[in-house]
C-alpha cells in the first residue's frame, strides 16, 4: 500500500541554527590555534542576547564576543528591527575549564590509546534515492532553504526576505518503497512587514512557487524533477504574518535540530547533538564515521539502504559493537551480522582512528552547522582565523570528509563485488 513520508529543514537564520553556528565557529577557532583543544560549548540566543556556556581545555584564549558577532552578522541579523542584531546584542560568556575527571578518560600518553569522550550510541545511514545517498524528502527540504537564503542575499528577485525560515516536504512512496510524487511542500519564511496581509500572503506564495521551486527543481536529475507536479499541496506561511522571527520570536539552543542535521527521520539517531563538540566526543565523530561507512557500502553495491550503529563507553577506545541493518536490501549473500563483521575489519573505529582517517582535528565545523551535516559535497577551502592578540593564520582544510567515496574499491574487494 502506498504511504507518505515527511522530512523538515530549518534555515541558517532559525534560532536553534544560530546557536549551532556560534558553537561550531568557536570550535573552529579553538582547533585552528590548538588542534588538541577539548571543547564542549552550548549557546542560547533570545531577544537581544547570546549566552555561551561550556567547558574548554586549550592553549589559546579567544575573543568569543567578536567571533559570536561575526557569525550573527554573516547569517544576516544586521537590522535593529529584528530585535537581535550582530553589533548590539549582549554576549555573556560562562565558559570554564574542562573537568579533569572527564579529561583523564580521554587523553593518554599515546594518542592511539585515546578513549571515547563519552558513552553513547551513534548511527549512520545511506540509501540510493539521491546522488548524495541521502533520503529524498530531507534533501529537497535542505535545498529549498539553501536557495531561499541565496535569494535573500541576492536581494533581486525577492526583496522582503528575513533570515528565519523552515521547510517541510512530504513524499508519496509505492509498495516497492520508491518515491512517486511530492504530495506536500510547506515553507514558512520570515519577511518584512507589508501594508496588506492579503497582498503579503499572495505575493509570498507566488514567489515561492514561481521563483524558488523552479530553482530547486533545476538542481535535480530528470527522474526527480518528474516528482514535481501541479497537484502538489503548498502551505506557504500557513499562519499568515511572519515578521517577528529569529531569536526575538523563539529562543534558540545548540543541539535542538539533530534530525534536521542527520537523516530527516529516516534510519535512526543516537540522541547526541553534534555542534559545539570537538571530535573527541564520539557523539559527533562516530556519527560522521558511520555515515562514511554506510555511504561507501551503498555506493559499492552492498545494499540499497543501510543503517550502521556503533556504541562506546567513556574512556574506552574500542567500540562496544557494530550493528548493521540493510532492511532486506543486501546484495552480497551475507547476513547483516556478517556485514558488520566485515566493517569491523575494514574501518578503524577507535576515536583516534576516526579523527585521523577523516581529518577531524581541523577547523571544519562551521560549514556543518546549517543545512545538514550529512549529504554535503566534500571540498578543500582556505579559512583565515584571528586570535585575541591580532595574529592571523590561513589554513587549507578539507570539508565533509565523511562524504567521500574513498573506500568503495576496498568495500568491493572485501565483499567480492
Would you write out the chain's pLDDT as a tens digit for each of its 417 residues? 799 999 999 999 999 999 999 999 999 999 999 999 999 999 999 999 999 999 999 999 999 999 999 999 999 999 999 999 999 999 999 999 866 655 555 665 556 667 787 889 999 999 999 999 999 999 999 999 999 999 999 999 999 999 999 999 999 999 999 999 999 999 999 999 999 989 999 999 999 999 999 999 999 999 999 999 999 999 999 999 999 999 999 999 999 999 999 999 999 999 999 999 999 999 999 999 999 999 999 999 999 999 999 999 998 989 999 999 999 999 999 999 999 999 999 999 999 999 999 999 999 999 999 999 999 999 999 999 998 888 899 999 999 999 999 999 999 999 999
Q: Are 164 and 227 in a shared domain?
A: yes
The angle formed by the CA atoms of residues 26, 75 and 197, to the nearest 5 degrees, is: 145
Domain assignment of residue 292, yes or no: yes
CATH of the domain at 369: 3.30.300.10
Question: For residue 212, what are the domain limits?
Answer: 3-8+135-245
| C-alpha separations of 83 from 191, 213, 284 in Å | 14, 30, 33
Q: Are 74 and 37 in a shared domain?
A: yes
296's grid cell: 561507501
d(CA 259, CA 272): 10
Q: Are 241 and 323 in a shared domain?
A: no
Q: Are 170 and 232 in a shared domain?
A: yes
* Structural element, H or E, at residue 91: strand 90-97
Pairing outcome for strands 379-386 and 120-127 = unpaired
The angle formed by the CA atoms of residues 398, 410 and 358, to the nearest 5 degrees, is: 25
CB 225 within 8 A of CB 181: no
Q: Are 238 and 288 in a shared domain?
A: no
Q: Are 95 and 141 in a shared domain?
A: no
Q: Are 64 and 80 in a shared domain?
A: yes
Q: Is 352 helix (H, G, I), strand (E, B) or coil?
A: helix
Domain assignment of residue 175, yes or no: yes
Q: Are 291 and 394 in a shared domain?
A: yes
Q: How many CB atoms lie within 10 A of CB 291?
A: 27
Domain assignment of residue 266, yes or no: no
Binding annotation for ATP: 14, 164-166, 241-242, 250, 256-257, 273, 277
Binding annotation for K(+): 42
d(CA 404, CA 293): 10
Domain assignment of residue 91, yes or no: yes
Q: Are 291 and 408 in a shared domain?
A: yes
Residues 6+ apart with CB under 8 A from 32: 363, 383, 385, 393, 395
Domain assignment of residue 46, yes or no: yes
Binding annotation for Mg(2+): 16
Which of 195, 222, 245 lies at the terminal end of a domain, its last residue? 245
- Stated pTM of the model: 0.96
Q: Are 200 and 229 in a shared domain?
A: yes
Domain assignment of residue 319, yes or no: yes
d(CA 30, CA 62): 8
| Among the listed residues 116, 102, 108, the one whose alpha carbon sits nearest the alpha carbon of residue 56 | 102
Domain assignment of residue 263, yes or no: no
Binding annotation for L-methionine: 55, 98, 250, 281
| C-alpha separations of 22 from 74, 247, 251, 260, 350 in Å | 11, 13, 14, 17, 28
User: Domain count of the chain?
Assistant: 3
DSSP for residue 130: S
Contacts of 309-312 with CB under 8 Å at 24 or more apart are 309/121, 309/122, 309/123, 309/268, 309/270, 310/121, 310/122, 310/286, 310/349, 311/119, 311/120, 311/121, 311/122, 312/116, 312/118, 312/119, 312/120, 312/122, 312/282, 312/286, 312/351
| Among the listed residues 70, 16, 80, the one whose alpha carbon sits nearest the alpha carbon of residue 45 | 16
Domain assignment of residue 205, yes or no: yes
Binding annotation: 14, 16, 42, 55, 98, 164-166, 241-242, 250, 256-257, 273, 277, 281
Q: Are 290 and 332 in a shared domain?
A: yes
**How far does CA 370 lie from the centroid of its chain?**
6
Amino acid at each position: 500500500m502506498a504511504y507518505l513520508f515527511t522530512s523538515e529543514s530549518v534555515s541558517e537564520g532559525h534560532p536553534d541554527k544560530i546557536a549551532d553556528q556560534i558553537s561550531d565557529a568557536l570550535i573552529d577557532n579553538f582547533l585552528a590555534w590548538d588542534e588538541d583543544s577539548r571543547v564542549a560549548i552550548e549557546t542560547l540566543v533570545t531577544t537581544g542576547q547570546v549566552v555561551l556556556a561550556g567547558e574548554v581545555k586549550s592553549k589559546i584564549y579567544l575573543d568569543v564576543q567578536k567571533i559570536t558577532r561575526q557569525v550573527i552578522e554573516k547569517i544576516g541579523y544586521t537590522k535593529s528591527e529584528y530585535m537581535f542584531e550582530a553589533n548590539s546584542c549582549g554576549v555573556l560568556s560562562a565558559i570554564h575549564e574542562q573537568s579533569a575527571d572527564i579529561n583523564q578518560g580521554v587523553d593518554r600518553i599515546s594518542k592511539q590509546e585515546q578513549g571515547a569522550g563519552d558513552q553513547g550510541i551513534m548511527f549512520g545511514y545511506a540509501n540510493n534515492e539521491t546522488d548524495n545517498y541521502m533520503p529524498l524528502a530531507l534533501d529537497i527540504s535542505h535545498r529549498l532553504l539553501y536557495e531561499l537564503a541565496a535569494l535573500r542575499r541576492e536581494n533581486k528577485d525577492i526583496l522582503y526576505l528575513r533570515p528565519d525560515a523552515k521547510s517541510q516536504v512530504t513524499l508519496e512512496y509505492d509498495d516497492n518503497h520508491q518515491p512517486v510524487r511530492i504530495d506536500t511542500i510547506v515553507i514558512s519564511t520570515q519577511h518584512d512587514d507589508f501594508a496588506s496581509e492579503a497582498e503579503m500572503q499572495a505575493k509570498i506564495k507566488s514567489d515561492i512557487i514561481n521563483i524558488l521551486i523552479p530553482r530547486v527543481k533545476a538542481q535535480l536529475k530528470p527522474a526527480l524533477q518528474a516528482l514535481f507536479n501541479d497537484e502538489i499541496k503548498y502551505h506557504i506561511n500557513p499562519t499568515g504574518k511572519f515578521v517577528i522571527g529569529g531569536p526575538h520570536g523563539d529562543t534558540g539552543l545548540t543541539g535542538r535540530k539533530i534530525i534536521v542535521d542527520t537523516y530527516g527521520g529516516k534510519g535512526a539517531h543516537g540522541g547526541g547533538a553534534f555542534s559545539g563538540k570537538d571530535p573527541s566526543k564520539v557523539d559527533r565523530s562516530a556519527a560522521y564515521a558511520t555515515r562514511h561507512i554506510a555511504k561507501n557500502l551503498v555506493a559499492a553495491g552492498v545494499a540499497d539502504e543501510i543503517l550502521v550503529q556503533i556504541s562506546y563507553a567513556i574512556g574506552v577506545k574500542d567500540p562496544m559493537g557494530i550493528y548493521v541493518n540493510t532492511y532486506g536490501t543486501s546484495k552480497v549473500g551475507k547476513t547483516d551480522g556478517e556485514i558488520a563483521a566485515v566493517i569491523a575489519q575494514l574501518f578503524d573505529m577507535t576515536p583516534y582512528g576516526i579523527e585521523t582517517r577523516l581529518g577531524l582535528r581541523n577547523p571544519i565545523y562551521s560549514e556543518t552547522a546549517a543545512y545538514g551535516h550529512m549529504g554535503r559535497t566534500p571540498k578543500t577551502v582556505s579559512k583565515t582565523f584571528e586570535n585575541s592578540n591580532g595574529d592571523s593564520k590561513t589554513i587549507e582544510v578539507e570539508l565533509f570528509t565523511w562524504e567521500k567515496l574513498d573506500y568503495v574499491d576496498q568495500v568491493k574487494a572485501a565483499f567480492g563485488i
